[in-house]
Chains A and B, each alone.
Chain A
Amino acid sequence: MRRTGVFVCHCGSNIAGTVDVERVAKEAAKFPNVVFATDYKYMCSEPGQQVIKDAIKEHNLDRVVVASCSPRMHEPTFRRCLESAGMNPYLFEMANIREHCSWVHPDKEKGTIKSIDLVRKAAAKVVKDEPLQKSSIGITKRALVIGGGIAGIQVALDIADAGFPVTIVEKEPTIGGRMAQIDKTFPTLDCSACILTPKMVDASQHPNIEILSYSEVEKVEGYVGNFDITIRKKARSVDMSKCTGCGTCWEKCPTKVDSEFDMQLGKRKAIYTPFPQAVPNKPVIDRVNCTKFRTGKCGICQKVCPTGAVDYEQQDELITEKYGAIVVATGFNQFDHSVYGEYGYGKYPDVITGLHFERLINASGPTMGKIKRPSDHKIPETVVFIKCVGSRDEAKGKSYCSRTCCMYTAKHATLVHEKIPGSKSYIFYMDVRTPGKGYEEFYKRTAEEYEAQYIRGRVSKVYQKGDKLVVRGEDSLIGRPVEIEADMVVLANAMVAREDAGDLARTLGISYDKDNFFTEAHPKLRPVETHTAGVFLAGACQGPKDIPDSVAQAGAAASKAIGLLSKTQMESDAIVSNVDESRCSGCMICKGICPYKAIDAKLITERVGGKMAERQVAAVNKSLCQGCGACTVACRAGCLNLLGFTNEQILAEVEAVCL
């Protein structure tokens, strides 16, 4: 005979409004093994918990059921309450009569009956509960940052400053990300490189930071506190330990390739660093385009390299390292507007995107900072900007607002005015969204002082007419179609997730939304965590963001990672899988099923027919097991059980409801 106490919560009127809580408590008192039942307005409140504690003492309870909200919400609260009353916290069950009942059922009578059933179920299970113990495990005090844009750099600096070693894995030859491509930054118009490069240098010189550029995460194993990460260091064809970054090789390389960094508007060599301030400032060979790799001839770079660093035989290298925390900061891509037939399917050379424009105005860009249109290098006089291209457009793009483009378009129009005397900018917009500090003022200056003509309406068609581009829109404020003959059209393309974001999410075991942005654990209250413990998010990989927001989020993610790494030991939950060794045949099917690699074989000695014999059985590593339960259904002998959810417990619940 157990001594169970049942506590029914009103949750204000949330539950009591549609469930007769008093009746539920009265009925519960009649269940087998229940010696005490009551109801209370807010079970989770201080006084509510006191009710439980008092009852435990007074009625000598050894099992507790709370009928209230979802265990996601308050299971930890009540477990702590039991613990402080001197009980094992796992001798406890929750009946969810709010989300599973009162919130979804309008009928009070039926809702009450269902609540009684749910409580009966919990009361039947709790009798079978056994005291469980948490286990703990050490932590690898090192962090991995995936992506070396401004967000990733900031995360790395913050964690490194706190004293923990950090590795940045960056897939490009250099860190810097999109911010390195940007010329000036809103709302202050300070030069992007001037504020970014010092940070890049800080990162490269920080004793706690290791930068693995031209590298990617290949495999993630283990769990929070102890991840085993396999990283692929792609073959650079340059020996980093010998190369001094002198630049002789890329000066002499005869093979020119369209530069990705310059948005195909300029050229780079086959052996290259993406831009002069690259970190590390050591080149890679683009093997797809290198003449040596294509035809076997050339080899000039190897000949001219004074330190003999060029190595055509270099292979990709796989390394596996241990980390305690991971921060993902892989950033964003620009939406590909070639789906917009009405804007020319991306085939008009003078219809460019925001990032193209950034390269055109950049003093170290392909035009030395002169805004020249790509087709004939003429300086445009009339520039039309079209906003929300691919944003706020379910038909051809994404449903969301990209948050940065209103501001960077204002910035671009300002720069056109500053750089091209006598020029005129037109900006087609649906809304102007400027909810940042100093943003609205910046926008106003663009329209007033820099004379950008804002026109409210979405453009329906852009077409080439001679050497002009005709832009057709509606000025929706006067309700008349309008036409502009432009020299250049700049599209504010949406910020979209990296094309490999889905793959990376699957590798990491984190979730992503319909648009492939990584999903935070809670949109308001856990904005930098993921649902996977130990993996955090920073920057535009979580959703469109400008630099201030990316940096702020980076700081937040770093502090979460630091919090984790500062612990000496990590407690893991007691709800783990358990092997009944006497029945285990040692087939080890479970081992392959476990996603956390928590199961291994072990040998036990036992007495068989008077003799001692060794036998193989499965063993669960309680620190690694996450209690997912996958192995328990895979075991053919049924000798794996999830503690807290044993077959016996589940059957007791089923019987309580069905019989």
Chain B
Amino acid sequence: MKYAYYPGCSLHSTGIEYDMSSQLVAGKLGVELKEIPDWNCCGASAGHTTNHLLGLALPARNLAIAEKEGLDVMAPCASCYNRMKTSEVAVKSSEETKAKVAEVTEMEYEGKVGVKSALEVFVKEAGLDAIKSLAVKNLGGMKIAAYYGCLLVRPVGIGFDDPENPMTMDDMVTALGGEAVDWPFKTECCGASLPTAREMVGLKLVYDILTMAQSAGAEAIVTACPLCFMNLDMRQNDLNKKVDNANFQLPVFYFTELMAIAFGEKPAKTGVRKHFVDTSSVLAKYNLK
């Protein structure tokens, strides 16, 4: 398996752990990742809510570069994935859009290659059997809430998993010996950039998600998106300061970090030491140091 790799802006900065661990997991699973040369930002939600065409064109430029190399794209970030998917579908379904996008990007993108999320590539395609056979460590029943966020499973009808109760990450957790807790907020929105742009509105969303995970008995949350990760991990401190009675200390992982650790990588190499919320005690509890 070989993919054009689209890390997106976050994986080169705030989401660096996702990048590190994705590379490790890819190596173990024999997935070859070739970074898209000179890729650009997908525009995130700011792009398409400012200019619809721009929102389609920014991801299309990256898809066009990948298409030249004949490779499908793997985009770990849910937002990038959603933007690229939207662009892919728009170009495939309308000649007019395709022409317009080509005019803006000054590149041809025919829709011959598409985009997949890291979850799709590393779990769905690789298969649970392969994951189990590569695992040398067991999550030992760690209670984990799989949090997918909203964009990974949307638009409905196009995504790779159920829009209301996705299971890909839960299955991965179970395959690695963890206990995937059943909880109802798997696809609630974390607010994306709202916690930055409109702090108190955004923080409420994060608060609700963390509270629900906690009351479902989770000892950790696992995510597949750098935006979700940043909101859930970095904002716990803010919440503890700003909200009465809030006292969160809930470790948040990228699913790739847990996979890499189970595959025998040293935790430090996966990036778990870079988190805001301490991960060492929960890892220690399950002998995953």
Contacts and interface: CB of A to CB of B under 8 A. Distances in A.
Interface string A316-357: 000000000000000000000000011001000000000000
A465 interface: yes
B215 A465 contact: yes
B215 A342 contact: no
A516 B32 CA distance: 51
Contact of A345 (B165, B185, B212, B215): B165
Interface in A457-485: 461, 463-466
B184 interface: yes
A345 B164 contact: yes
Interface string B156-174: 0000001111000000000
Contacts of B164: 341-342, 345
A97 B162 CA distance: 55
A359 to B, nearest CB: 27
A463 to B, nearest CB: 3
A341 B163 contact: yes
A341 B162 contact: yes
Given A463-B184, A464-B184, A341 B165 contact: yes
Interface in B109-167: 162-165
Contacts of B184: 461, 463-465
A485 to B, nearest CB: 13
Nearest to A464: B184
Contacts of B162: 341
A101 to B, nearest CB: 39
Interface string B255-267: 0000000000000
A466 B215 contact: yes
A341 B186 CA distance: 12
**Is chain B's interface secondary structure helix, strand, loop, or mixed overall?**
loop
B9 to A, nearest CB: 32
Which of B162, B184, B212: most chain A Cβ within 10 A?
Answer: B184
Interface string B175-212: 00000000011000000000000000000000000001
A348 to B, nearest CB: 10
A345 B186 CA distance: 14
Contacts of A465: 184, 212, 215
Contacts of A466: 215
Interface string A137-177: 00000000000000000000000000000000000000000
Contacts of B165: 341, 345
Contacts of B185: 463
Interface in A331-388: 341-342, 345
Interface in A433-473: 461, 463-466
Contacts of B215: 465-466
A466 B162 CA distance: 24
A404 to B, nearest CB: 28
A341 B184 CA distance: 10
A463 B162 CA distance: 16
A461 B185 CA distance: 10
B188 to A, nearest CB: 9
A345 B184 CA distance: 12
Contacts of B163: 341
Contacts of A345: 164-165
B250 to A, nearest CB: 18
A94 to B, nearest CB: 48
Nearest to B184: A463
Interface string B228-269: 000000000000000000000000000000000000000000
Contacts of A463: 184-185
Nearest to B163: A341
Contacts of A461: 184
B214 to A, nearest CB: 12
A543 to B, nearest CB: 29
Contacts of A342: 164
Contacts of A464: 184
Nearest to B164: A341
A345 B166 CA distance: 12
B174 to A, nearest CB: 17
Interface in B262-286: none
A465 B213 CA distance: 11
A461 B162 CA distance: 15
Nearest to B182: A464
A120 B185 CA distance: 73
A151 B237 CA distance: 66
A367 B132 CA distance: 46
A465 B184 CA distance: 8
A342 B184 CA distance: 9
Interface string A598-617: 00000000000000000000
Nearest to B216: A465
A341 B162 CA distance: 9
B179 to A, nearest CB: 17
Interface in A16-45: none
Nearest to A395: B156
A618 to B, nearest CB: 54
Nearest to B162: A341
15 contacts: A341-B162, A341-B163, A341-B164, A341-B165, A342-B164, A345-B164, A345-B165, A461-B184, A463-B184, A463-B185, A464-B184, A465-B184, A465-B212, A465-B215, A466-B215
Given A345-B165, A466-B215, 13 more contacts: A341-B162, A341-B163, A341-B164, A341-B165, A342-B164, A345-B164, A461-B184, A463-B184, A463-B185, A464-B184, A465-B184, A465-B212, A465-B215
Interface of A: 341-342, 345, 461, 463-466
Nearest first, the 7 closest Cβ-Cβ pairs linking A and B are A341-B164, A463-B184, A342-B164, A341-B165, A345-B165, A341-B162, A464-B184
